[in-house]
A = this chain, B = another copy of it.
Amino acid sequence: MPRLKDTYPLYLNNKAAQPNTDLEVTDKFTGEVAFRTALATPEIIDRAIAGAVHATEPMAKLAGYERQAVLQHCVDRFKERFDELAYALCVEAGKPIKDSEGEVTRLIDTFRIAAEESVRMYGEVMPLDISARAKGYQSIWKRVPVGPCSFISPFNFPLNLAAHKVAPAIAVGCPFVMKPASKTPLGAIIMGEVLAETDLPEGAFSILPATRDGADLFTVDERLKLLSFTGSPVVGWDLKARCGKKKVVLELGGNAAVIVDRDADLEDAIERIIFGAFYQSGQSCIGVQRIVIHENVYDRFRDMLVEKTGSLIAGDPKDRDTFIGPMISEGEAQRLKGWIDEAVDGGAKLLTGGGCKGNMLEATLLEGVHKDAKALNEEAFGPLAILQPFSDFDEALAEVNRSTFGLQAGVFTRDLFKMFDAWDRLEVGGVVINDVPSYRVDNMPYGGVKDSGLGREGIKFAMEDMTEIRNLVIRRN
């Protein structure tokens, strides 16, 4: 069994620093303080940004193989420290140990993909002689790093959603300052520990736990050229308004839907939907919140879902049998519990679950939820899924699109015309056929439309955002 330390540093300009131990981080299951970390002050953040500015040119000058070596070092070290990383997630995020291991596996994937992409930043040779005035001209463009980046990452995937910012930044040669979630800073801190073993130019990275109040420089400092934020919609859109001239990437939330059509393999679908809805207590931007089921199979599928959901094991995330662990905080559990109650008050039927103790909320299924209920329209971000029947596929698509969000959607169908219709018409970043919206592989383009965000992650897509096209025009005569 891995052990955690009592205190952890922050990383300022590539080096560990322990100016204080002001941030208490609890074990989310026991509620006890698990460890303490340093908390960055605005002055420290300012020094980190200055360091990043200083590192801009040396980072841009690194050869591809040098950037690749840094990322490969991370891959190797994450493999070596696999158990420790998983355990850290389990403690600080309350994430069931198997899911924690799954996240570490994906962390490794993410860095490996970035290592591979780091030597593949292609540019283009373009003919310019498209009209007489351009005879003798040609264009060659490449991508150059955008400069110092500001990263803010969320609590629900403390490693992999940080990795989706850190790894492409290193792959393209951008220095960065990162603020991990205050509730779960350890994943990013260990990442910093591993990066500190490399010979990245000084100032290339800082990992700075900070309170929201003290972290404004991450948003407003004009020395930072890109802000990449993963977190809640409300916070994200506010940052966009306040971030000055920066490029902005926002990976926000949603209330993802899955459609189960009448020709779906229900046995297969149920496994995936249970996973999609209740995996890490539904605390995923793409967790299944809405299950839109063809009326012909509705009753049968509801019964299957209820039975299966009722049998999920809740408890200590460190226990390998646990499927449902705690939510990130009691406040969050209460918030969602309130929505459930409100929905029931509004006429919804509670099919299973609904109970809540502290931050342990039961896996919950509702049906007959009012169209205007918060539980249906806002982001649940917890173990709640709502069943809705449909009679016509177009109607199902419209119901999915009724959301103000648009991250991913799942469709269980065998019908290729419906697959293409869904791809054409669902207002989301990704349509997943025969699986839940919750599915993601770390190289694929990932990100939302509507209120769910701006831009795409998925290494090579993130790398595009972290670079500028720089054109070279040559006139010959």
Give the interface of A toward B (CB within 8 A).
Answer: 60, 63-65, 68, 102, 105, 109, 113, 116, 119-137, 139-142, 144, 146, 237, 240-242, 244-245, 247, 268, 413-417, 419-420, 423-424, 426, 428-435, 439, 441-447, 449, 451, 454, 456, 461, 468-477
Contacts and interface: CB of A to CB of B under 8 A. Distances in A.
B449 A471 contact: no
B428 A470 contact: yes
29 contacts: A60-B424, A63-B134, A64-B130, A65-B130, A65-B134, A109-B130, A109-B131, A116-B116, A116-B119, A119-B443, A124-B125, A125-B125, A128-B444, A133-B441, A240-B245, A247-B454, A413-B416, A414-B414, A414-B415, A414-B416, A416-B419, A417-B476, A419-B472, A430-B473, A433-B474, A433-B475, A444-B473, A449-B468, A456-B469
A429 B468 CA distance: 8
Given A245-B451, A413-B416, A432 B475 contact: yes
A240 to B, nearest CB: 7
A378 to B, nearest CB: 16
Classify the secondary structure of A's interface with B. Answer: mixed
A130 B431 contact: no
Contact of A416 (B415, B435, B439): B415
A134 B441 contact: yes
Contacts of A116: 116, 119-120
Contacts of A417: 414, 476
A125 B127 contact: no
B119 A105 contact: no
A472 B127 contact: no
Copies of this chain, how many? 4
Nearest to A413: B416
Nearest to A248: B248
B431 A126 contact: no
Contact of A432 (B60, B119, B473): B473
A420 B470 CA distance: 12
Contacts of A445: 139, 141, 469, 471
A326 to B, nearest CB: 25
A413 B121 CA distance: 27
Given A131-B65, A131-B109, A428-B470, A443 B123 contact: no
A416 B68 CA distance: 28
B470 A430 contact: yes
Contacts of A451: 245
The 6 A-B residue pairs whose C-beta atoms are closest, nearest first, are A123-B125, A430-B471, A63-B129, A416-B416, A435-B475, A116-B116
B468 A444 contact: no
A287 B102 CA distance: 51
A279 to B, nearest CB: 13
A141 B125 contact: yes
B121 A127 contact: yes
A102 B134 CA distance: 12
A12 B47 CA distance: 53
B120 A475 contact: no
Contacts of A477: 268, 434
Among A120, A416, A474, which residue has the most Cβ atoms of chain B within 10 A?
Answer: A416
Given A433-B474, A470-B429, A472-B431, A441 B140 contact: no
Contacts of A134: 63, 65, 441
A393 to B, nearest CB: 12
A430 B126 contact: no
Given A119-B443, A128-B441, 17 more contacts: A64-B130, A65-B135, A68-B130, A105-B133, A119-B127, A121-B127, A124-B125, A128-B443, A137-B439, A141-B445, A237-B244, A237-B245, A428-B470, A429-B469, A429-B470, A432-B475, A444-B473
